[in-house]
Structure formats: C-alpha cells, structure tokens
Amino acid sequence: MAIQRSILLIADIGGYTRFMRTHRMSLAHAQEMVASLLEAVIDASRPLKLAKLEGDAAFLYSPVESDAQLTSVGSTVAGIRRAFLARQQEIATNRLCSCHGCVEVDSLNLKFVAHVGEVAFQKVKRHTELAGVDVILVHRMLKNEVPAREYLLMTDELLRNLEPTLGQSTRSLLHDFEGIGPTQTHYLDLAETAAALPPSPRKSLAVRWWERIVMNAKVLHYYLGLKEPCRDFHNVEKG
C-alpha cells in the first residue's frame, strides 16, 4: 500500500429541494441531470483524477510532485465551475420537460472542499482506493458552517499556496470536525469571483425532442421501479 502526499478535492452539487419526493419521474430526471453535470465536472477536472463518484459529488485527487500544483488549485476549481455552469445553462436553455427534476436544474449549485495530506493508495482490481485520516478530514469538511451557497473551503496549506489575488478574498473559519477536532479552514465565495458566461445557443426543436427521448430511455429502469433514483445523493430531500 503506497502512501503519498496528495491534493484532495470534492466537488459537491447541491440545491435540490424537498418537493422532489412528489413524483418518481422528477427523481429519475434529477438523477440524469446530476449525472450530466458530474460528467462536465470530471471532464474539466484535469490534472486531477477521479477517485470515485459519491452520489451527487465527485471525489478527485492528485499526488503532489511539487508545490506548484498547489498554486493551480484555484484555477482548476474555477475551470470546473465554469464547465458546470455552462452545462447547467445548456440544459436549462434547451429543456422541454417541465417536471421538477428538470426545472430545478436552474437552482443547482456547486461547492468545493479541498485539503492536502498523506493518502494511502490501494489497488482493488482496476480501482484505486484512497484511505487515511486526511481522506476522512476532506469528507468531514462537507458538513461546515460556510455562509455561502457556492464556495471553495480549504485548509491552511492550500491557502498559503493559493494565487495571491484569490487568497486576499478568503475568509477564515475554525471548525470542529467530528473525529478530527478543531481545524482552521478558509473559504472563498465563488459567486464573488466568477465572470458571467455567454448565453448558450438554442438547439433545434428536433434535436431537443430527440435528447428528451434518449433521456427517458436512459431512466426507464427508474420509472419501472427496478432502481431507486437519487438513492445515494447527499443533497436531495426525499421526505
């Protein structure tokens, strides 16, 4: 089992509300909307690698070869967020379905927690499992007291290496994480630092109908009750 100092980042989608419990179709479409958004997040996350999908969150990592990698975390997060917002805007512009799962895409947001620490890597068949106290810590950071909808929450070492212009915009919070204890953290309100995106082009009606047919085919097993939609999502309240 190899141990290596690594950047750990979780991109977590939030914003679905309690009324999602009202209809199986809404939850099935919510599952597909979040899957599409997570694809955009993962595609934009390089040089980070995907450790695993955790419901409506992506757990990403990168072994640290030099401190220059820490400096790029801010720009990596900004790139992931831009890709998320672009996909979100594309979905909203071209949707035909009016169920809650599709309409609520507009209200979804993306938050990040990041940490640097010692990680144990273990190969299990074709998968790499990450373990250690620092892996636990970055997951504990998802339950926090940050007073913002979209943010990057980080620990001390990442703040020290953050781009100076971003570092000056951070605010500090002392958290007491379960099983970890008092931990100094710092957050960046992403809504204050992001530039507006250009509007998404509108697709032809034929393309939009075809995409809706494809989506309904992909979620058919949820309609039929063969699988429970959104079962592993952290941020969907199903009553």
pTM given for the model = 0.87
Q: In whole angstroms, how far apart are CA 25 and each of 32, 165, 196?
A: 11, 45, 32
Tokens of 143: 């339950």
Q: What pLDDT does 37 receive?
A: 94
Nearest 10 degrees: Cα torsion 6, 87, 232, 60: -10
Residue 119 near residue 134, CB atoms below 8 Å: yes
Tokens 């809504």, located at residue:
191
Taking phi over 0 as left and psi of -120 to 50 as alpha, with beta for the rest, 30 belongs to alpha
Q: Is 90 exceeded by the pLDDT of residue 129?
A: no
Residue 140 near residue 177, CB atoms below 8 Å: yes
Q: Is 60 exceeded by the pLDDT of residue 19?
A: no
Q: Yes or no: is domain 2-190+199-223 CATH 3.30.70.1230?
A: yes
Confidence at 239, pLDDT banded by 50, 70, 90:
very low
How many residues are listed for the chain in this entry?
Answer: 239
Q: What is the pLDDT of residues 133-191, one digit of tens each?
A: 999 999 999 999 999 999 999 999 999 998 888 888 899 999 999 989 999 999 999 98
Q: Strand 109-124 and strand 151-155: pairing? A: parallel
Q: Where are the alpha helices (DSSP H) in the chain?
A: 24-43, 68-71, 73-94, 100-103, 133-140, 156-161, 164-167, 205-218, 220-223
- In one letter, which amino acid is 218? K
Q: Is 60 exceeded by the pLDDT of residue 237?
A: no
Q: Is 60 exceeded by the pLDDT of residue 21?
A: no
Separation CA 82–CA 221 (nearest Å): 32
Q: What pLDDT does 101 receive?
A: 81
- Lowest model confidence (mean pLDDT) among 38-47, 56-65, 82-91, 95-104: 95-104
Residue 154 near residue 162, CB atoms below 8 Å: yes
Q: What pLDDT does 126 receive?
A: 74
Confidence at 195, pLDDT banded by 50, 70, 90:
low
Confidence at 194, pLDDT banded by 50, 70, 90:
low
Instruction: Give the CA radius of gyration of the chain.
Output: 19
Give mean pLDDT, residues 46-61: 93
Taking phi over 0 as left and psi of -120 to 50 as alpha, with beta for the rest, 181 belongs to left
Tokens of 105: 């895409």
Residue 185's DSSP bridge partners are 155, 173
Q: Is 60 exceeded by the pLDDT of residue 18?
A: no
Q: What percent of the chain has pLDDT over 90?
A: 48
Q: What is the mean pLDDT of the chain?
A: 86
